[in-house]
Amino acid sequence: MLSYKHIFHAGNHADVIKHLCWLGVISYLKNKDKPFTLFDTHAGAGLYPLDSEQAQMNSEFKTGISTVIHATFASDLLTQYQSLCASYWDDYSYPGSPLLAANLLRLKDKLQVMELHPNEVTNLKNTLKQFTDSKKAHVHHRDGLEGLVAMVPPPSKRGAVLIDPPYERKEEYQAVVKSVSTTLRKWRNAQIIIWYPLLSDRAKGKTGLSERLVDDIVKLKCETLTVELIVDQKSSDTGMYGSGVCIVNPSWGIDKSLSEALDEFCQIATPAVNRIQWYNRQ
Ligand SMILES: C[S@@+](CC[C@H](N)C(=O)[O-])C[C@H]1O[C@@H](n2cnc3c(N)ncnc32)[C@H](O)[C@@H]1O
């Protein structure tokens, strides 16, 4: 079952927290001269036209990038995110995680991206070819969690992973835990960002699965930092009332830069974002 299409959600509040975190981790890796490799397990199409029928259906980007694009920020991370998005905003489009990452790579760095949907993988290849130096980015048409385990550790042993599944199936939550556990056995200092939805009781069988995922990641006895952006009441009828990122082996200073960025985002977000929750566990 591959019915999920990110175009319906591109640029929403969940993309904001996920992509800020992704950029923060990549920026930290660039502080050192040594090369690094990035892995994006569920890459999507790479670029999303916001004037398309699908994106316009619920206009979810109005809860995210639309509010960010014209504001002025003190946060370096939010300013960097805004400026990367701005060149695509000129065509009323939003860049996904592989395109954002490809923009930041140096000549010596590598990007390994995985996508299972045949149409999305074709779109992704075309997008990376059109907008980036595609030699640095390698697109794999395969299962992202299996691909990750097969490809780590990278030669330089430095790098980061973004795990951003659609969570269409209940089994995907525990598949993430298993893949993270195996990845850490092979590559102990991998920085891994796991995005997850926060689901109200309306989600029935999926309610609580994200919380269990985070608990199980923490039990892997690695350092973790978890931040959640709550945009609605948990009791509401909205289904997804927010989302979070669990960062395994968080880079030094990511908590501060993310906190500054999210605080500023919350001040301008529409509808008003209720709150940010942090957990720091070792
Ligand atoms: C949430 S979207 C990714 C968005 C992207 N990470 C971003 O931030 O721009 C999830 C993607 O995973 C793809 N997908 C679903 N199952 C997959 C699997 N087992 N392996 C790799 N990709 C998969 C879907 O086709 C979809 O494009």
| Residue 282 reports pLDDT greater than 70 | no
Ligand 1 close to Cβ of residue 114 (< 6 A):
yes
Q: In what order do the strands lie in the sheet with 37-40?
A: 137-140, 110-114, 37-40, 159-163, 191-199, 240-248, 224-230, 275-281
- Distance between CA atoms of residues 103 and 108, nearest Å: 13
Cis peptide before 153 (omega within 30 of 0): yes
pLDDT bin (cut points 50, 70, 90) of residue 132 is: confident
pLDDT bin (cut points 50, 70, 90) of residue 8 is: very high
| 42, 113, 149, best to mutate for ligand 1 pocket (most atoms within 8 Å of CB) | 42
Q: Measure 73 CA to ligand 1 centroid, in angstroms.
A: 30
- 164-179 per-position pLDDT tens digit: 999 999 999 999 999 9
> At 270, phi and psi to the nearest 5?
-130, 130
Ligand 1 close to Cβ of residue 2 (< 6 A):
yes
| Residue 37 reports pLDDT greater than 70 | yes
pLDDT bin (cut points 50, 70, 90) of residue 111 is: very high
* Its pTM surpasses 0.85: yes
Determine the pLDDT at residue 78. Answer: 97
Give the up-direction half-sphere exposure of residue 33: CA atoms within 13 A in the CB hemisphere: 0
Ligand 1 close to Cβ of residue 116 (< 6 A):
yes
- 61-84 per-position pLDDT tens digit: 999 999 999 999 999 999 999 999
- 192-219 per-position pLDDT tens digit: 999 999 998 777 788 889 999 999 999 9
Determine the pLDDT at residue 28. Answer: 96
| Neighbouring C-beta atoms of residue 181, cutoff 10 Å | 15
Domain formed by 6-281, architecture: 3-Layer(aba) Sandwich (3.40)
Kindly list the catalytic residues: 164
| Mean pLDDT score, 30-39 | 97
Q: Measure 116 CA to ligand 1 centroid, in angstroms.
A: 7
Return the domain boundaries, the chain: 6-281
Q: Measure 74 CA to ligand 1 centroid, in angstroms.
A: 32
